[in-house]
Amino acid sequence: MCELCKGGLNLHPQTRKMTPSRRSFLRGAMASAAGAAFLPAFMTRAAKAQALPVGVGEAGRKTLIKGGYILSQDASVGDFIGDVLIEGSKILQVAPQIDAPDATVIEAAGRVVMPGFIDTHHHQFETSLRSYLPNGIMFADPTREGEPNYLDDILGKFSMVYRPQDVYIAQLFGGLSQLDAGVTTVLDVSQIHHSPEHSNAVIEGMRAVGRRGVFGYFEGYGDDLQYPQDARRIRNEYFGSDDQLLTMLMGGEAYLPNVNPLDLWNMGKELDLMVGLHVVGSLGMREVMDNLIPHYTDKHLFIHMTGMSDAAWERARDVGAHISLSVPIEMQMRHGQPPIQKAIDMGMAPSLSVDVECTMTADFFTQMRSAITWQRALANQAALENGPENAPALLSVREVLEFATINGAKGLRLDHKTGSLTPGKEADIILLDATALNVAPLNNAPGAVVTLMERSNVETVLVAGQIKKWQGALIGQDIAALRDQIIASRDYLFEAAGVEVPLFD
């Protein structure tokens, strides 16, 4: 007799009649079948696809995002289960229930509805070099002889061989990848301005993505270099108006050879632009930044801010400068200890940024989890060593969500447009699936976003009211063709740099 018969059906060998154990088995099987028939139907209703709405984001057209878990990032609006009404590109109303019979409806039941993430520092031209430097640090180390590092290999070798077309596809592919992950605004720190054509390629690639962004005009190298004076042309040609998806920031590094940072900072002032720069203690920048203290302004964005003096921090706070933290990269690549606690102690409101994809992913779920676990690890250890009353307060998931959204908007001077679900702001909105296997049942909305979710939960993305991703798929993009292009660009870059692709180290 087969094992199934022995263990479950238990047929009587003579009469082959149904024994009690067989009747019990079949009753259970029928119940299971009924349950199985019910569950798929229930799941189908919950996950039923909605056709892509037409005309969303057009002037005068109203759209109602209905029945979601609202995380507004605006204390005056609050958080609740409710609706968001959009007209054209702007948020018109956010409330528990909105009556808008003339609006196109986007069903958001079971979805977290919140502002898109804001990345305040990303070297997008390096998308083609993803994962090339997973074990690398920022600079050469005599104990790591023969190992590639960021300054010598990424900037000193690979960046030198980029053509404008390599810049363009990296910008486009990397930008779409972040848009797919719910990052609706980026500051692109593009240190690839070897010529005006390279600069144009950066901007055109950012435009092709269709999300909000800040073009960071940083340095370049080579015989065709027009940095920094080409900033005037770029400002006039591409950024004559600030009322557009893309705006501009002036790169003002303090470590460039033969360049006075004050000349760069003054050019930013001349062009009425914010000024951004890397501030890294492990590169010996503490004394340099101390010497520049009198020149800090509220239009400065300091990236990393590791290893700086109390005087530099106090000046940055007093003038209203902004701090952008790249916690995973700072820990991974020897920038110095991520100064989250210092920023909190100073009463500042830092933002989060991904930095370089040659070493770490550009999704914001990784950024948020790294930030909260790093701060809490330090605070918890201090509580164990010195007593809870003598330890820093533990960072909360709500605070980290602020780092990832409204703080970034403020840091880029875009909080009048984005960063929160506030009536009058642009509709940069993401819908996150809280019914998914890795999240359900939802018990705490901000906690789920920070501690459970990942890019697969980003279901729908809107930028300025326009749908860019719909129910799991980017709209209007041939990703397969773009992938072929970036692979071809990667192949060229490695060959031109004289480096083999290290598939298996």
C-alpha separations of 495 from 155, 158, 490 in Å? 16, 10, 9
DSSP assignment of 108-165? -TTEEEEEPEEEEEE-GGGGGGTTS-TT--SS--GGGTT---IIIIIIIIIGGG--HH
Give the pLDDT score at 242. 82
In a domain, 19, yes or no: no
In a domain, 303, yes or no: yes
Question: H/E element holding 204?
Answer: helix 196-209
pLDDT band at 8 (very low <50, low <70, confident <90, very high): very low
Half-sphere exposure (Cβ direction) of 362: Cα atoms closer than 13 Å: 34
pLDDT band at 505 (very low <50, low <70, confident <90, very high): confident
Same domain, 434 and 359: no
Does residue 392 sit in helix, strand or coil? coil
pLDDT value at 495 more than 70: yes
| Parent domain of 454 | 62-116+428-474
Centre a 10 Å sphere on the Cβ of residue 176 and count the other Cβ atoms it contains: 22
Q: What is the pLDDT of residues 230-245, one digit of tens each?
A: 999 999 999 998 889 9
Same domain, 107 and 122: no
Closest listed residue to residue 10, CA positions, set 26, 30, 28: 26
Centre a 10 Å sphere on the Cβ of residue 420 and count the other Cβ atoms it contains: 22
Closest listed residue to residue 154, CA positions, set 138, 142, 169: 138
Length of the chain: 505
Question: H/E element holding 378?
Answer: helix 364-386
Same domain, 202 and 94: no
Number of domains in the chain: 2
C-alpha separations of 494 from 144, 145, 243 in Å? 22, 21, 39
DSSP secondary-structure letter at 355? B
Q: What is the pLDDT of residues 47-81, one digit of tens each?
A: 467 899 989 999 999 999 999 999 999 999 999 99
CATH number for the domain spanning 391: value is 3.20.20.140
pLDDT value at 40 more than 80: no
- Beta-carbon contacts of residue 337 (< 8 Å; ≥ 6 apart): 306, 307, 330
Euclidean distance between CA atoms 239 and 220, whole angstroms: 20
> Residue 117: what are its φ and ψ, rounded to 5°?
-75, 155
In a domain, 297, yes or no: yes
Q: What is the pLDDT of residues 296-330, one digit of tens each?
A: 999 999 999 999 999 999 999 999 999 999 999 99
Same domain, 243 and 336: yes
pLDDT band at 407 (very low <50, low <70, confident <90, very high): very high
CATH number for the domain spanning 70: value is 2.30.40.10
Question: H/E element holding 364?
Answer: helix 364-386
Does residue 305 sit in helix, strand or coil? strand
Q: Environment class of residue 346 by beta-carbon count within 10 Å: exposed (0-12), middle (13-18) or buried (19+)?
A: middle
Does residue 482 sit in helix, strand or coil? helix
Q: What is the pLDDT of residues 250-309, one digit of tens each?
A: 999 999 998 999 999 999 999 999 999 999 999 999 999 999 999 999 999 999 999 999
pLDDT value at 155 more than 70: yes
Cβ atoms of 84 and 97 within 8 Å: the answer is no
**In this structure, what is the dihedral angle of CA atoms 332, 337, 339, 342, given to the nearest 10 degrees?**
160
In a domain, 486, yes or no: no
Same domain, 468 and 373: no
- Beta-carbon contacts of residue 139 (< 8 Å; ≥ 6 apart): 149, 150, 151, 152, 282, 283, 334
Give the pLDDT score at 134. 97
Same domain, 170 and 258: yes
Q: What is the pLDDT of residues 105-140, one digit of tens each?
A: 999 999 999 999 999 999 999 999 999 999 999 999
Same domain, 412 and 456: no
Please list the alpha-helical segments (H only) found in 239-285.
261-270
Does residue 306 sit in helix, strand or coil? strand
Euclidean distance between CA atoms 108 and 460, whole angstroms: 10
C-alpha separations of 212 from 203, 366, 374, 404 in Å? 12, 21, 29, 15
Cβ atoms of 82 and 96 within 8 Å: the answer is yes
Same domain, 288 and 381: yes
Give the pLDDT score at 12. 38
Euclidean distance between CA atoms 303 and 281, whole angstroms: 11
pLDDT value at 42 more than 90: no
Euclidean distance between CA atoms 481 and 176, whole angstroms: 13
Cβ atoms of 481 and 474 within 8 Å: the answer is no
In a domain, 15, yes or no: no
Euclidean distance between CA atoms 35 and 149, whole angstroms: 57
Same domain, 402 and 435: no
Give the pLDDT score at 29. 43
> Residue 253: what are its φ and ψ, rounded to 5°?
-60, 145
Give the pLDDT score at 48. 62
Give the pLDDT score at 405. 98
Give the pLDDT score at 86. 98
Please list the alpha-helical segments (H only) found in 210-251.
231-238
- pTM, 2 dp: 0.91
Token representation of residue 174: 């990397």
β-pairing verdict for 183-190 and 117-122: parallel
Same domain, 209 and 341: yes
Euclidean distance between CA atoms 415 and 417, whole angstroms: 5
Residue 460 bridge partners (DSSP)? 431
How far does Cα 381 stand from its chain's mean position? Answer: 29
Average pLDDT of the chain? 92
β-pairing verdict for 90-95 and 104-107: unpaired
β-pairing verdict for 212-217 and 90-95: unpaired
pLDDT value at 433 more than 50: yes
Average pLDDT of the segment spanning 448-467: 98
In a domain, 224, yes or no: yes
Cis-peptide, bond into residue 441, ω within 30° of zero: yes
Average pLDDT of the segment spanning 202-219: 98
Q: Where are the beta strands (DSSP E) in 366-435?
A: 429-433
Cβ atoms of 312 and 332 within 8 Å: the answer is no
In a domain, 179, yes or no: yes
Q: Environment class of residue 493 by beta-carbon count within 10 Å: exposed (0-12), middle (13-18) or buried (19+)?
A: buried
Same domain, 370 and 448: no
In a domain, 28, yes or no: no
Closest listed residue to residue 327, CA positions, set 285, 284, 372: 372
Same domain, 110 and 133: no
Average pLDDT of the segment spanning 336-364: 97
